[in-house]
Amino acid sequence: METRQRILLVDDDQDFVAATRDLLELNGYEVFCAYDGNSGVSMAQEAQPDLLILDVMMATRDEGFDVSRRLRAIPALKEVPVILLTGIRKAMGLPFGFAPDDTWLPVKAVLEKPVEPERLLKEIATLLRPEVRRES
């Protein structure tokens, strides 16, 4: 029996989490959910996911940015790819986007909400490929 890859969703929008969980489960992933940054970090340590999908604006406008850096400081989670999936740019009217970097935003991808399901699934599949994981 093949082990399903594990994904942790961290987002305070329960409707978004439910819909995304359904999409991911229908595509063969095992899904764990957390609804705030602290719970997300705890759940990541407990569940040891293969990939994490993280929102930015939760309890604070920038909680997800902090969580991405906290995850990188935990040795067991340092190599877990993170997709930052957020609507912060649109919600705050920011004239610029965000890009991954090793210090301030240590994630593998930044996607804007709303994201097409096919685009999200493609990004997940790319980041979970063994050769991509080794390069992390």
Tell me the C-alpha to C-alpha distance, in Å, between residue 123 and each of 25, 60, 93, 117: 16, 26, 25, 10
State the pLDDT at residue 58: 87
How many domains are contained in the chain? 1
Query: Has residue 134 been placed in a domain?
Result: no
Query: Has residue 45 been placed in a domain?
Result: yes
State the pLDDT at residue 35: 97
Query: Has residue 85 been placed in a domain?
Result: yes
Residue of 120 and 89 predicted with greater confidence: 120
Query: Has residue 121 been placed in a domain?
Result: yes
Query: What are the pLDDT digits (tens) for 35-66?
Result: 999 999 999 999 999 999 999 888 888 898 89
Query: Has residue 12 been placed in a domain?
Result: yes
State the pLDDT at residue 21: 97
Query: Has residue 1 been placed in a domain?
Result: no
For residue 110, give both structure tokens.
């930044």
Query: Has residue 136 been placed in a domain?
Result: no
CATH code of residue 105: 3.40.50.2300
Range of the domain at 52: 6-129
